[in-house]
Amino acid sequence: MSVPARPPISACIIALNEADRIGDCLASLAFCDEIVVVDSGSSDGTRELCERAGARVLQRAFDGFRSQKQFAVEQAAHDWVLCLDADERVGERLREAILAEQASGFAHAGGYRFARLSEYFGRFLRHGNAYPDRVLRLFDRRRGGWRGSREIHETASVDGQVRTLPGDLVHHPYRSFEQLLHKTEGYARMMAEHEFARGKRASLAKLVISPAWRFWRGYVLRAGFLDGWHGLVYAYVRANYVRQKTIMLWLLQHGQPLRTPRG
């Protein structure tokens, strides 16, 4: 019986000023055959650190998360790609599962999803809307990629079967609460602008109901309360994200600016 070919894997990362944490990301990808980093103008030594670690670093001006990630996929030397953010690491069990699929020639699917386990101010969240948060990150680029027009909360997709692998993609998303609030506000604005451009509109009912439902669904129905005070803070912050996005969409449809005009 012939042994299936072992398809090589290209790991693809996008980065901007991630010198303080991309090292752990790169180390977790040591099993890959290539690491491609697309840097959008770092000034903290990210590029040099990645090059010393053996990654191939490309420079590209940032024009959206989806576009940046798709560019990285297109520059990879191999067709099977594993896409990570700089604040993510491949956990041990997930690495073993990926290697097992690779040994089979990735014969079972055109893409693989797995759970993302997020650390939230000293605790990994395992309940509520935070987990398992499954993401499709390993796929054959000949059958898929980072598609669509949405540049924020981007997702990859493939034509054909997608399987779920055991193990976790370990996520360390925030350096501080200040950074969390800043990122959340930025994401809310980008989503509001995207939805407005696509013709979606807010209503007074949504302004009241949507944030409350997000909190209730995550904290109560999906048992976010089991994560202690971390789960409570997470549920409040996510509900506030929905509130901000809906308010911004409401302002846009009433002709109000979201950003301070540049002088």
Kindly report the number of other CB atoms within 10 A of residue 233's CB atom. Answer: 15
- Domain 9-171 sits in CATH at 3.90.550.10
| C-alpha pair distances (Å), 18 with each of 26, 42, 85, 205, 218 | 11, 8, 10, 40, 30
Dump the DSSP string for 92-108.
HHHHHHHHHHHHTTSTT
Q: What is the pTM of this model?
A: 0.92
Q: What is the rounded distance in angstroms from the CA atom of residue 22 to the CA atom of residue 12?
A: 12
pLDDT in tens, the chain (263 residues): 455 689 999 999 999 999 999 999 999 999 999 999 999 999 999 999 999 999 999 999 999 999 999 999 999 999 999 999 999 999 999 999 999 999 999 999 999 999 999 999 999 999 999 999 999 999 999 999 999 888 988 999 999 999 999 999 999 999 999 999 999 999 999 999 999 999 999 999 999 999 999 999 999 999 999 999 999 999 999 999 999 999 999 999 999 999 887 76
Longest Cα–Cα distance of the chain, Å, equals: 71
Task: Tell me what percent of the chain is helix, strand and coil, each rounded to the nearest 5.
Answer: 40, 20, 35
**Taking a C-beta distance cutoff of 8 angstroms, is the pair 81, 71 a contact?**
no
Structural domain boundaries in the chain:
9-171, 177-253
Tokens representing 226 are 């089991």
